[in-house]
Structure 1
Amino acid sequence: MLTIGQLEVKYGSQTALKIEDPISFKKGERIGIIGSNGAGKSTLIKAVLGLVPYRGRIITQLKPEQMAVHMQFNGYVTTMPVRYIMETILGTKIAKNKELQELISFFDFESCLSKRFNALSGGQKQKFTIILVMFQKAGLTFYDEVTSGLDFETRQKLTEMLSQWYRDKDDTLVVISHYYEELEQLADKLLILDKGRVVDFGRKNELFERYCGRVVIIMENSGKNKELSKGFPVLKSPEHLLAISCKSKEQEREMLMILTENNVNFKRSNSDIEMMFMNARERFYAQ
C-alpha cells in the first residue's frame, strides 16, 4: 500500500527525519508511531501527504483522495453551528446521508450539531474532526495525537470508540500518540522514532520480546527489591520502578516465588510499550 525508503526531510540545515531502510504499510494494518517530541512523527505524515519537501522515495498506488488525516491542531469557523460546517466540508446534507447519520450516532454527537465549534468541549471537538475524517472512508488514515489535551476518562472512551469502529474494517490506520495505553488498544505494529531516526519497526509482540524478554516483572525501586532481584537481568525503566526481564518460564517462576515469599507487590507484563520504547532506544544508542 505504501513504501517509504531513503527518505530525508530537512528544515533548513537541520535533519528532521531520515529513514534509510525501507518501511512498508500494508492493507489492514494498525500502525502506531511512537517517539519523544521532535522525533519526526508528524514530519513523516506531512512528507507522505506531500505537505513538506523531501528527498527520497515514497511509493504508493493510492491517490491523494484515498488518504485521510486527523492533524493535532484544527481550526474551524466559530460563527455558525457545526451542522453547517460539517455539511459544507463533506458536501452532503446530514438528513439525506445515512452513513453520516450512522457516524454521528456512533459518536453520540447529535446534541452537538446545533452548537458553535467554540462552544464544544475538547472531547466533542475531537469527535467532530474524527467524523469528518472517517466519512472519507480512506484506504489509509492518519491520526495525529487524536486525544491530546483530553482528560483520562474522555481519552479512554474515544480510544474505545475508534477501536470498535475499525475492528472489522480493512482500512489501514497510522496512529501517532504519546499515550502508551492508546497504542496498546489501537496498534498491532510500532514504528519507533527518535531524533528523526528509525529505532525499530515491527509487530508489538516481537519488539517486546526483542527488547524486554518474554515477560517483565515491575516493582517499586527500593533497596529491598534490588537485593531480592540480584542476579536477574534489569531493564531500563522510570527511576521509581525496578523492571526485571524474564527470558523463560523458569526464570519468571523463580522471580515470582521470591517476590511472593517476601510479600512484594509487583506487576507482570508481556506488552508494556513504555518499557519497550525505553529499552529499544537505549540499545539503539549503545550500538
Structure 2
Amino acid sequence: MITVEHLSKRYGTHPAVDDVSFTCRPGTVTGFLGPNGAGKSTTMRMITGLTPPTAGHATVDGVPYQRLGNPGRRVGVLLDASAQHSGRTGREVLTLAAMTMGIERRKVEESLDRVGLNATAAKRRVKAYSLGMRQRLGLAYAMLGDPRVLILDEPANGLDPEGIFWMRGLLRDFADAGGTVLLSSHLLREVEAVADQLVVIGGGRIVAQGDKAELLASSGIVVRALDPEALDLVLHRVGLTGTKTTDGGVVVQSDAETIGRAAADAGLVLLELRPAGGGGLEQMFLTLTAGDSVKEAVR
C-alpha cells in the first residue's frame, strides 16, 4: 500500500505540489494523471525519497521509503528509463542490481524474459537500446526483486502499440495477484483500460480522485445549443458555469433536468444534452484540468 498525506513541495514561492493526499491499495492500479508540470513526477520523487517534501509525508506499507530495508525487494521504481548506465549491457545492469539486492542470478534471466528482451538484446549495451527497449529494461529492473509495489512514471513512452498492450497485461496481472501499482501516464486510453482508481492533479493540487467508474459517471453534463452565446447567458442566469469542448459544447457540473428546464424557459434550442462520462477519461481529464496554464499532449 502507498499512503500519501498532505505532501507539499515549494521551490521558492512556487508551489510545485500543494497538499496532496491519496492512497493506493493492494490489488489495484491507480492512474496518476495531470498535464505536464502539474506535479506528478515531483510527487513520485517525494514518495521514493529522491526529493524532500516541504510538508507532509508518504509511506509504503506504513514505512517511509528511506527507511525500507533493501527497498528493491519491497518497491519497484521506474522514474526515468534513460537513467541506466549506457556503457553496460542489459544483462550487466540487472546482474549488478541482483547482487546489490542479494537476489539469485537466475532471476536476471527470468526478468529479461518477462519483459521480452531476448539473449541478443541482453548482450547489447544500453546506449544502443531504443527508448522502448530501455523502458522494458527499466520494468525488468523494477520487478527484479519481486516487489509488492510498483511506482512507474510514464513507463509506456517509446513502446509501440503491441508493447503498450503487453505492458497493460503485465500491470493488470501484477495487481490481480495482490500487487499495488501507481502509474503515471499521458496515454489516457491505456490508463482508462487498466486502472481501477484515478488521481487527477492540476496546478499541484488534486482536482479529482476515486473509483474510475464513479468518476467517469459523475463528470458532469455535456450541453450543446443552436445558439452558443445564448446558452452561456442561460447558464449564467441559473448560476452555472461550464468548460467549452472542442466541438462547440459545454461541460457543466449539474444535472440534465436543471439545464433542460433553464433552456426550455428561455426558448433555447438544445442540440445535445448527455452525461459527460460518454466522452471517457479524455473528456473528464480535459474538463478537470482546463484551467491549467500548461496542457499535456493527449492521445
Amino acid at match of 2:24: F
Q: How does 1:1-287 map to 2 (within 5 A)?
A: 1-19=1-19, 22-54=21-53, 55-60=55-60, 61-62=62-63, 64=68, 65=71, 66-91=74-99, 96-97=105-106, 99-110=107-118, 111-148=120-157, 150=158, 152-166=160-174, 168-212=176-220, 227=226, 236=243, 238-240=245-247, 270=278, 272-281=280-289
* CA pair 89-59 structure 1, distance change in 2 beyond 3 A: closer
* CA pair 227-275 structure 1, distance change in 2 beyond 3 A: same
For 2:279 and 2:109, locate their aligned partners in 1 and report how far apart those are by CA, in whole Å. Answer: 37
For 1:163 and 1:242, locate their aligned partners in 2 and report how far apart those are by CA, in whole Å. Answer: 36
- Structure 1 length-normalised TM: 0.74
- Structure 2 length-normalised TM: 0.71
For 1:243 and 1:203, locate their aligned partners in 2 and report how far apart those are by CA, in whole Å. Answer: 24
Note the alpha carbon deviations across 1:134-157, whole angstroms, 9 max, x for none: 112222211101122x26525533
Amino acid at match of 1:57: H
% identical equivalent positions? 21
Distance apart, 1:240 and its partner CA: 4.4
For 2:103 and 2:30, locate their aligned partners in 1 and report how far apart those are by CA, in whole Å. Answer: 31
* CA pair 163-237 structure 1, distance change in 2 beyond 3 A: farther
Give the match for residue 263 of structure 1.
none
* CA pair 135-238 structure 1, distance change in 2 beyond 3 A: farther
Amino acid at match of 2:213: N
Structure 1 stretches lacking a partner, 5+ long: 218-224, 249-267
Structure 2 stretches lacking a partner, 5+ long: 236-240, 257-275, 293-299
Of the structure 1 ranges 201-210 and 161-170, higher mean CA displacement relative to structure 2 is found in 161-170
RMSD of aligned Cα (Å): 3.7
Distance apart, 1:51 and its partner CA: 1.6
Give the match for residue 259 of structure 2.
none
Of the structure 1 ranges 195-204 and 69-78, higher mean CA displacement relative to structure 2 is found in 69-78
Note the alpha carbon deviations across 1:209-263, whole angstroms, 9 max, x for none: 12146xx79xxxxxxx9649999x9974652475889979xxxxxxxxxxxxxxx
